[in-house]
Amino acid sequence: MSLLQIKNISKSFDGLKALHNLSFNVNDGEIVGVIGPNGAGKSTLFNAIMNHINKDSGDIYFDGINITKKPTHPIAGMGIVRTFQDSQPLPQISVQENLDLAFKYQTDISLVSVFGRHKFLQEEQQVHFTKIKELLHEVGLGSKLNVQAQDLSYGQGKLLEMLKVIASDARLILLDEPFSGLFPEMIKLVTKLIYDLSASGKTILLVEHNMQLIEEICDRVIVMDAGQKIADGDFKTVTKQQNVIDSYLGK
């Protein structure tokens, strides 16, 4: 059974069909790319999966469980994390605090914990956090733990967002244009982080405009246009299909 099953979802805004009978599956461990011309509905898709917007019809299953109508935070709690286009960290708090918030075991902190001896990270997570700290150094943010996130550069901000994704330890990762606006060195870093995630068994759904990266990174590609799926398969095959070529050239 696939990890993520999108079944016939549709969503209209004021008569405009943003998603139209869209169906596809994502299997455990895959890296699947989502491509398509602007306005194809790719970000809407992510919003629909996290139930940031209601669907008009259709169902979404994660690990066999119907998440179509669940509120966003329990969906995230089940092990899905998403980034936004032009994702930047929470600006007026520090790099350290940004990371703290992303760690997966922290979502149920109560007031009582304030007066107890609660630390943010229990023993198991210390190991995880040490790994993240090493990554921080690798990407050049090691000395910036106490810097306010808004003082980071755009590229550094995106790197931090990727590290938060890793910290969350989510099973399914939705990345919305993680490479946009990045210099080549940053692109290499982000690519490596994505490969590391996949190697550790995570499943990734990746929206991106950069075709070279899509071809390089993804196992499989889904092409969307006007809210519909028009192709689903490996990159080389799909990009030779006439309907895909037409949609990119504009009919």
Partner 1 sequence: MDFIVQLAIYSAIASIAAVSLNYVVGFTGIMSISHASFYGIGAYGTALLLTKTGLSFVPALLLGVLITGLVAAFASVPILRLREDSLMLVSVGFALIIHSLMLNWQSLTNGPRGVKSIPRPEIFGISLTDKNFYLVLCLVLLVLTIIIFYKITKSPYGTVIKGIRENEEVMKNYGYNVSKYKHSVFVLGAIFAGLAGGLFASYIQYISPESFILLPSVFMLIMVILGGMGSIGGSIIGAILITVIPELMRFAGLPSSFAAESNQIVYGIILFALMYWRPQGLFGKYKI
Which residues contact partner 1 by CB under 8 A? 50, 52, 71-74, 76-77, 81-82, 84, 90-93, 97, 100-102, 104, 106-111, 113-115, 118-120, 164, 168
- Least Å distance, CB 230 to partner 1, is 28
- Least Å distance, CB 175 to partner 1, is 13
Give alpha helix (H) positions in 70-226: 72-77, 95-102, 112-115, 123-138, 154-168, 184-199, 211-217
- Pick 167 or 218: Cβ nearer partner 1: 167
Q: Residue 237 contacts by C-beta under 8 Å, 6 or more apart in sequence? A: none
Q: Are strands 228-233 and 220-225 parallel, antiparallel or unpaired?
A: antiparallel
- Least Å distance, CB 211 to partner 1, is 27
Q: Are 21 and 230 in contact (CB under 8 A)?
A: no
- Pick 45 or 213: Cβ nearer partner 1: 45
- Pick 56 or 97: Cβ nearer partner 1: 97
Whole-number CA gyration radius for the chain: 19
- Pick 100 or 138: Cβ nearer partner 1: 100
- Least Å distance, CB 68 to partner 1, is 17
Please work out, in degrees rounded to the nearest 5, the angle formed at the alpha carbon of residue 204 by the alpha carbons of 17 and 171: 110
